[in-house]
Structure 1
Amino acid sequence: MAIKPSSAVNVTKLGYVEFETPDLDRLTEYYTNVLDFVPVEKTAEEVFLTPSFDHHSVVLRASKEHKARTVVGYEIEEDLADAERRIRDAGYEVERRSGIAPSTPDVLVIAEPLTGTQLHLYDQQARSEVAPGDSVLRPTKLGHIAAFTPDLVPTQSFYQDLLGFKWSDTIGDFFVFLRCNSDHHAANFMASKKFDGMHHIAYEMRDLTHLQTMLDHMAARNVRLEWGPGRHGAGHNVFTYHKDPDGNTIELFTQLDTIADESKGYFEPRPWHNEFPQFPKTWEADVIAANSWGPINPALLEH
């Protein structure tokens, strides 16, 4: 359905993601001992973890099976009552709930079209006591989440028209990158009739030295890379990919493109851009778009 841009909800930040896991202790150990996240709250059924000042960026929930991206939380910069009204006016079901998480008093709950993934919209999280400088390992933040969708067009329309995301890039006709702030993307979607669920989740590292330190730390714990280091064409970030104990694909990245001035519409100058200035565009589905350093990992591009 077409929604006027002026009625879009103003999402400004990717806040958190939830994973269901059959082995809560094992996945908690990975996040705390490998990625160095801090557990903020823990019960027998769920664990809330953070790498930064937000109360949590990751929720781990005990379940009989593993399932990734069961919930995604987005911060919005507006009154929840106004956002709820505009979502209803656009024809979507939305529920306002209290007590859904220990850090967000009120949350708007809406289902992502086609996938059914539960989205939480909130105006602010409580703060953790994690200081940015107390770890040489810990990622700086939850950067983005990629997921499969059976149809790219309505998914992209939902995020842009209803939630106010902006288009950053597309690879071929099957992989779109969407931003909700200056970062190149907070959400990206791959069209697929074969796969569903999460494609990968990405955590940001400060710089190449920070990334290298983390990779050495992971190697010492027998965590091996699936792909990278490399540099993506779309977004131009340096990336690495590995698997967590449940088999979820985890990206660690740095140097992601940003847009500082939306009125100008180009990404901030980088020495590795192929075009000057670099604007959002549709990329050919080739090695440059996936990894300008080569090679391509077929498993991560299969759809």
Structure 2
Amino acid sequence: MNQLQSLKKITTVVADTGDIKFIQKYQPKDATTNPTLILQAINLSCYQNLIISAIKYAKLKGGNHQKKIVNASEKISVLIGSEILKYIPGKISTEVDARLSFNKEECIKKANSIIKMYEEEGINRSKILIKLAATWECIAAAKELKKNNINCNLTLLFSFAQARACAEAKVFLISPFVGRIYDWYKSKNPNEIYSVKKDPGVLSVRKIYKYYKENNYKTIIMGASFRRIEQILALAGCDYLTISPVLLKELENSLGVVDQILNNEKKYYKNNQSLSESEFRWHHNQDAMAVEKLSEGIRKFAKDQENLERILSKNF
């Protein structure tokens, strides 16, 4: 047995890619996309017909030049997500425009638009996770969307305050970014050797996992953004882990049984006090890494969204 096969027995493995050939090869339960992955995916030959379809859709919908570009970019994300769903049994995560990360109402409107597009493709909303950055506004949007059976994946999660607020809002899933947390600490302390026992990204997810299970929160924890397989193995037993094709291949090529590190011991100590907005902002602000990485992540996704729109604009 290889490590990927063993890991799948104790953790739900999700593919962090929009490339169909990798999804077919590694057979994950779910898959995730984001503007960066969509930008990469549109260069693949298998998706060229979907780009044509998205442009036709946008032209038929009408509107001014900018509206057509927005509709086309949204549609291509949905069409790629729909294609991926043909090869996985579970859910696909599709991201809301990162430029809306501080606007609750616009996030709700965009999420509903994405769901409508999926439903036009004959796909039930139960198969979709709307990805939102874990800002206060997006967490509030996810709480509202849940009332209409629209589940969300709160991404770019770096602080414990973000994790706690997501659980209290009863969001469906969170994606704490292990590798990006590691990157920040490594950049500040280049001479420090971070074994997995001291890896700040790994420790962050373990802390969240322990807190969620102790308080019997149902929100799924999906570790994300890994730099090496040691980080993945150190979180074996986490609800979900989303893994890039490079690391999936490394796990597949490594023989051995993966030990379950995280266990739900069901010791419940229910926390009855919810974070207020001011408390959330204060506690998140106290974590310099989280403040920097959340802002950086939103800017990066926004830039990739703009690049995608720039490519599509040539067709209008």
Task: Flag whether TM exceeds 0.5 (same fold).
Answer: no
Give the TM-score normalised by the residue count of structure 2: 0.32
Which structure has more RCO (C-alpha within 8 Å, separation ≥ 6)? 2
Which structure shows the bigger proportion of residues in strand conformation?
A: 1
Give the TM-score normalised by the residue count of structure 1: 0.33
Which structure shows the bigger proportion of residues in helix conformation?
A: 2
